[in-house]
Structure 1
Amino acid sequence: MTCKAYRAAILHSIADPAEVGIEASYEYFADGLLVVDNGQIKAVGPASELLGTLAADVAVTEYKDALITPGFIDTHIHFPQTGMIGAYGEQLLDWLNTYTFPCENQFADKAHADEVADVFLKELLRNGTTTALVFGSVHPQSVDALFEAAQHLDLRLIAGKVMMDRNAPDYLTDTAETGYSESKALIERWHGKGRLHYAVTPRFAPTSTPEQLTLAGKLLGEYPDVYLHTHISENLQEIEWVKSLFPERKGYLDVYDHYQLLGERSVFAHGVHLCDEECARLAETGSAVAFCPTSNLFLGSGLFNLPMAEKHKLNVGLGTDVGAGTSFSLLNTLNEAYKVMQLQGARLDPFKSLYLATLGGARALRLEDKIGNLQPGSDADFLVLDYNATPLMSYRLKQSKNIAETLFVLMTLGDDRTVQQTYAAGNLVHQR
């Protein structure tokens, strides 16, 4: 791949605003240049300084009325639920039985999984998401289909087969042993291949026996650089159910802790009802939480306490949680996140929002040296956001006084239409 350069306003997070303050958390170049070589970022900075350093044959693509940012990172999403997004009228446990399990059963058919993988990845890229942490179904072929499609596009993607050996329909359960052996085979086949990573994926504590959770922990011990991806403390009824199934444990998190599932690459979706002690334990073990506001509102689960997570320096990424989440767009998800904070009397600054959608997600996934920012040496995963995506956005942004206001408008009014182009490893993978 030859060297290329992209000129526009450029913005990226370089630190967590909660730790360093707003002003020190980002870099902004009103007239910036991003230089990409061989799928990686070679330089970023003011166009006036960098243009003179380019070789004569380097093509410069210029964008007017646009902002270049890192690609968005979705730290929790369900690929098999693409076809049931917007399913009406239930809370978590009834919703799983009514909609989710029948929908996921279709992924026993590899041809169906291939078809949905294509739709799913196109939706991610159309919405500017260049990396996602993804639930497959219980069927290994669901993960094969997704990884095959992602590899073809050279995406950085993390996924895993669901492990679920109880409290689910017979047609959708594995066993402790098959969950282990099928996951192991998928790790051997896919983990570390290109930009792909594997996540050991027990659905949640109620659908795995102690034997299965033990073997999930065994996989993490055998393959220390794979991920663990599951759910925690999403719904009050769910939490009571966990207590009844594991009465010997002191709480929901303690179940996972007991089976050695906490660690630097462990991501727990939701965490709406975590207590201080649980946040502290997650932070101590280097685990992360995926904040999924659209899903939490849609299923009536509750409001995630971001200030409590910040107090404990707990890594937090953003998740759409499609299909309970109602949009693939992380801009849309940030719109909802802002409201979730408002309902708790807290503020979500636009630069913290940018952090959650990019560098915060990368840190949650321990990939901040590769994605989530535009530092030289990072993968060239980036977006071009169009200030004139809609007539209203165009009109509103003409009133904007600074980049903070512009950023907030993009997150409040923005959606898939805002994403003009998506690049992954320097390749154009979506053009609006």
Structure 2
Amino acid sequence: MTIKRLFIANRGEIALRVLRTAHAMGIATVLGVSEADRTSLPARLAGAIAVLGPGPSPQSYLAIDRVVAAAVEHGCDAVHPGYGFLSENAAFARAVAEAGMIFVGPAVQTLEGMGDKLAARALALAAGLPVLPGGAAETAQDVAARAQETGYPLLLKAVAGGGGKGMRRVDRAEDLDAALAMARAEAQASFGNPAVYVERFVARGRHVEVQILGDGTHAIHLGTRDCSIQRRFQKLVEEAPAPAMPDAARAAIEDAAVRLARHIAYRGAGTAEFLVDADDFSFYFLELNARIQVEHPVTEAITGVDLVEQQLLVAMGHPLRLTQAMVRPHGHAIEVRVNAEDPDADFRPAPGVVARAAWPAGPGIRVDSHIANGGEVPPFYDSLLGKLIVHGATREQAVARMAAALQHLRIDGLPTTAPLHRRILADPRFVAGGVDTGFLAGLNLTGSNP
């Protein structure tokens, strides 16, 4: 199978990222856009665009029939879903296949198993991976009973979720009903499925994940990433490899990820996410994201592997050209997500127009962004403006390089998280490495956005 014309069913920086690799591989591109994104930078750089519908994502990026019809109309033979939106939607993958096109991602059966987080827990258990206490809860009464069994604090998590959407921490029984209503509403809006489940919350947990690649027969890992610095369960800073981890703990978590990938005959790029106890490095499987991740550039930086290229090659039926022995990570990489949000106002989204965007450049610096001077940030989508990635020979060099790069980053016209990142990089706890998910709660955010 050969992909000659690729439909990109996404927007923003990930659309640009896929465009870049597709063009380098000689693949023609068509970008699906909403009315709000018709003049975006990705739309200007794509080979062609297909307008899917109005700005709100349910009427455009989440409308399966419209996306598939647009891809067929433009003569595409494959669809790349990026991340978010329909990337882990089994019904979408099936519709793409039924229309005679290649879905650039795992098999439908894998999406069904991993897109449903409860099914993913069961598959992880079958593969011998540890999971946190918790489980299914359909009605409000079921949720209350499960919460009582699991204990507080706990998390409500969207069954069809990912990226922190549809997730709420609950510390007291009296807060459960309100949190459940919010989690279900957000899950419905983000994934078209309001179902949630209950999971034990670990206070001193680290969010460590493993990048995997598979071709349905073989599977390998490309090392760890640490994504513990989060707001509202959405990642702000990521680094690879995960710092301050004993070699034995790192090897165990990497082995668990590959074991799961082989157990489910995984195909394509994916990420096995784990919660690691910061005290004893015991770990628990959280989920397998059956797609490319926002933070994939830090893995690319330390391995030299183009993950989007690997996705496309596997989708075309090629066996993995990489063996585990060929993956030799070098150095350290850090990524910060620059969002149009106001940290001083509980990270309130700040849509608007970017008056000026000046991103740093230089050795070891990479920028993935779809925002330029005069670029509009619509109110309908995630607030991500771009990602700043640095690579250094050591973690110390990477930290210093990121701190310097952030001093040269300038985005005018709306509040962003860039000033907060400067504070994070200067914090002695971050500099030491190995912070847990409670890091941001212990950071004084006042005045972070001058």
Specify which structure has the higher proportion of helix.
Answer: 1
- Give the TM-score, by structure 2 length: 0.28
More RCO (CA 8 Å, sep 6+): 1
- Give the TM-score, by structure 1 length: 0.29
